[in-house]
A and B are shown apart, each in its own frame.
Chain A
Amino acid sequence: MTEKTKEQLVNELAEARDRIAELETSEAELKQKEQELRRLGLAIEQTAEGVATADLEGNIQFTNEAWAAMHGYTVEEILGQHLSMFHTEEQLKNEVTPFNEQTLAKGQNKGELGHVRKDGTTFPTRMTVTVVKDDAGNPLGLMATARDITEQVERQAALRESEQRFRGLYESSPLGIILNDYETGDYQEANDAFLEMVGYTLDELNQLSYWDLTPEKYSDQEDAQIRSMEESGHYGPYEKEYIHKDGTVFPVVLNGVVTTDNKGRKLIWSTVEDISERKRAEEERERLQQEVIEAQKQALQELSTPIIPIMDRIIVMPLVGSVDTMRARDIMRRLLAGIREHRAKVVILDITGVPIVDSGVADHLNKTVQAARLKGARTIVTGISDAVAETIVDLGIDWSGIETLSDLQTGLVVALNSLNVKLSKA
């Protein structure tokens, strides 16, 4: 044995120590790496995202709990199997194959893929598949993350259905529906019903000035509606008019609500109803109503103010009911016409049926008597009850110019006398 010199031993010791130091450092590094790996492992294990790794042929090397649970398996059941176990034949053909082609071509791919569970039910996932490479760029295997997006898909479907439903409502609505920018008043949307109503296209509408569509006389009302929106967030029912492209004006009623879009811009949704028909019907109804009222009034008047020619040149006009100014005018008119028609020289105006005789009525009667005189007829007022007589005197009404008698019989005798006619028994 060659005896090593002391120097050699010291060197060997130094080398050994260095070696130990290196090993210790390596060990520490390894431990650290180990810890990192362990943490990574825990993260992957515990995440709710499904994570799976496979070799380039698709043989499963690892899946986390989430992935297994998502598909209704335990991790043990999956190991050793192929990734294709998670898809139906159809899915493989239609979705997975093209997806994989993309993955291999681009190195990573994202998308929605259909999966199948252990119990045979299918569900949609959102997947990201990555081709894992080493530092040199050599592909080592595949890593896939998956999320069950059943809920999202359902929500989207529901949203779409709802959107369709409302779009259907919007498009087929007989009411005009418009969306305007709150600040500028520009038309964002207008359904066909509205466009047809006004005769313009959406573009044309946005070229018009405000008063091209709404008659200027509504400017005060427009301000009021804006105020209402500021205060309560809605307006209407607001009746106004629109000017059609062809110049005709038609009545409409509007209702609106302020809303904001997802960018925070204020908008107004309004419904617009063409009420031409309704207004026409209303006017017609009112006209008819007026006609009926007029006819009734006429009938009533005729009923209560007849003229009875009782003898040649003598007419009797019995008044029944209260006498207001309008009726008084009518009575006078009828009387003058009656005098003319019957060429009456004496009028017996019987007021037995007039319940109240006040200064107003007395005045009317006075005028009637004067008018009759100007037509050459003498008027005798009969039928003054004791109550009426009291009222007249108490009110200080001056009837000195009017001939009055108590009843019709006496009035008739006087009338005949004035015509120089005597009645005598046969």
Chain B
Amino acid sequence: MDTMETAEISEISTIQKLENLLLVAVPRDMTDSDVLSLRRQVLQKARRYHSHWVLLDFSRVDICDSFFGRFIQSTARMADLMGANVIVSGLQDMVVETMVELGMTLSNIQAVLDLDEALALSRKSQTDSASISQQESDEQEKEASPADSQLERSTSIDMPLETRSEV
């Protein structure tokens, strides 16, 4: 597969919008120019869709090199400048082991297990920000919360888009 074809495919399926998330399925075996091209596209699309989150998914990547680390860091910084948060997901076990050995811990970037988690995270932050404003308005009506008899669960984990009211 030469670079031309790769570019075409990445146009179609590599970058996708999902809610306020921009999903980037990072392909394996990218060349230098592939990387630059991908990064540019990501930033372009993030601006176009006003994405709050950019998810770099590495499920297809099984080799980690220093290149890899720089790509993530630079994309994160650039996206950050544009007001978007970068999350990484799908890092394979072997890749994680290598990264940790090389000291490449990406300490300033949030990591999640997979797409589900990333989605949950983005939705939670949405409802959190909603409930924070709600809370401020609820400040006047303070109620004591009786002890419930069941296990309470955070709805943001397993139920989509539902606002939760603080009790």
Q: Which A residues are closer than 8 A to B by beta carbons?
A: 329, 332-333, 336-337, 339-340, 343, 345, 367, 370-371, 373-377, 419-424, 426
Contact = CB atoms under 8 A, between A and B. Distances in A.
Interface string B60-102: 0000000000000000000000000000110101001101110
A333 B114 CA distance: 18
A423 B152 CA distance: 8
A406 B95 CA distance: 32
B95 to A, nearest CB: 9
Given A329-B97, A371-B97, A376-B112, 8 more contacts: A340-B113, A371-B99, A373-B111, A374-B99, A421-B153, A421-B154, A424-B148, A424-B149
Contacts of B117: 343, 345, 376
A424 B154 contact: no
Contacts of A421: 151-154
A424 B89 CA distance: 34
Contacts of B148: 424
Interface of B: 88-89, 91, 93, 96-97, 99-101, 105-107, 111-114, 117, 147-149, 151-154, 157
A314 to B, nearest CB: 13
A56 to B, nearest CB: 115
A332 B154 contact: no
Contacts of B97: 329, 332-333, 336, 371
26 contacts: A329-B97, A333-B93, A333-B97, A336-B96, A336-B97, A339-B113, A340-B93, A340-B113, A343-B117, A345-B117, A370-B107, A371-B96, A371-B99, A373-B105, A374-B105, A374-B106, A375-B91, A375-B113, A376-B114, A419-B154, A420-B153, A421-B151, A421-B152, A422-B152, A423-B151, A424-B148
B154 A420 contact: yes
Contact of B113 (A332, A337, A377, A426): A377
Contacts of A375: 91, 93, 96, 111, 113
Contacts of A340: 93, 113
B68 to A, nearest CB: 12
Nearest to B148: A424
Contacts of A339: 113
A377 B96 CA distance: 13
Nearest to B106: A374
B113 A370 contact: no
A253 to B, nearest CB: 46
Contacts of A426: 149
A332 B99 CA distance: 13
B151 A424 contact: yes
A158 to B, nearest CB: 79
Contacts of B154: 419-421
A291 B111 CA distance: 39
A370 B97 CA distance: 10
B146 to A, nearest CB: 11
Nearest to B153: A421
Contacts of A332: 97, 100
Contact of B101 (A343, A367, A376, A419): A367
B152 A376 contact: no
Contacts of A420: 152-154, 157
